[in-house]
Amino acid sequence: MAPKFLSLLVVTFSILLVSASSIKASFSGWQAISNLNDPNVVEIGKFAVKEHNKRVNALLSLMSIVKGETQIVNGMNYRLIISATYALAAKAESNYRMVVWDKPWKKERRLISFKKIA
């Protein structure tokens, strides 16, 4: 009886360990955004551009969202690659990588980073 119980205990513990790892991965890893045109995602992109413009006194304008990922934290991190252009530059689009932390239920949102990429 003891060997069967011990085997069952080991199997159960293994299943719990694998399940916990999967849950942790989904809460700490980055997940691709499937719909880059989702109004909330576009709003996050516009927010990032607006905050960046305030910080560096720029006139950058969002053209499109090229790629995006989310990460569940104490709120939600959005890591987006956007295409943007300066209002005074004729068709000079560049790509930027930005991260925004959002906690909508507390109406908190912060621009974490905003960098031009090649």
Closest CA to 99 of 112, 81, 83: 112
User: What per-residue confidence (pLDDT) applies to 16?
Assistant: 41
pTM of the predicted structure, to 2 decimals:
0.74
Band of pLDDT at residue 1, cut at 50, 70 and 90? low
Per cent of the chain over pLDDT 70 is 74
Encode pLDDT of 29-74 as tens digits.
999 999 999 999 999 999 999 999 999 999 999 999 999 999 999 9
CB neighbour class for 78 (10 Å; exposed up to 12, middle 13-18, buried from 19): buried
In whole angstroms, what is the distance from residue 45 CA to residue 114 CA?
Answer: 11
Q: What is the fold of 33-117?
A: Nuclear Transport Factor 2; Chain: A, (3.10.450)
User: What per-residue confidence (pLDDT) applies to 9?
Assistant: 47
User: What per-residue confidence (pLDDT) applies to 6?
Assistant: 52
User: What per-residue confidence (pLDDT) applies to 86?
Assistant: 86
- H or E stretch including 28? helix 2-28
Report whether pLDDT(113) > 90: yes
Encode pLDDT of 79-101 as tens digits.
999 999 987 766 678 999 999 99
Q: Where do the structural domains in the chain lie, given as residue ranges? A: 1-29, 33-117
Query: Which has the minimum average pLDDT: 1-5, 19-23, 33-37?
Result: 19-23
- Six token digits for residue 52: 């960046």
CA max distance for the chain: 80
